[in-house]
Amino acid sequence: MRKIHNIKLNYEFQKPILDGEKTFEVRCNDRGYQKGDLIKFRVYEGRRNIIEPLDDMVFEITYVLSGWHIDAGYVVFAFKPYKEEA
């Protein structure tokens, strides 16, 4: 079953994601990220949630990497903008 993950994102990383330059995340795997899961980023500056364009976007996880010299309990996942199937 596909999950939707709402995760915090530092403000400085918003523009590279919007520009399509940043297409991956390194995260603690406390949520069981899987290929096909959806991501909604919530942009934060310091401790304050700020409303930004990225808040309205949904991304799909396209690849999950664990092990392979990545610290135990962490994953690297690739993502792309999600387009709902017709």
Domains of the chain, residue spans:
4-81
From the centroid of its chain, how far is CA 14? 11
- Reference 31, options 68, 54, 61; nearest CA is 61
Per the model's pLDDT, the better-predicted residue between 35 and 68 turns out to be 35
Confidence (pLDDT) at 46 = 78
State the chain's mean pLDDT as an integer.
Answer: 90
Evaluate whether the domain defined by 4-81 bears CATH number 2.30.130.30.
yes
List pLDDT tens digits, range 42-65.
998 877 777 777 878 999 999 999
* pTM of the entire predicted model: 0.87
Identify the band that residue 82 occupies on the pLDDT scale cut at 50, 70 and 90.
very high
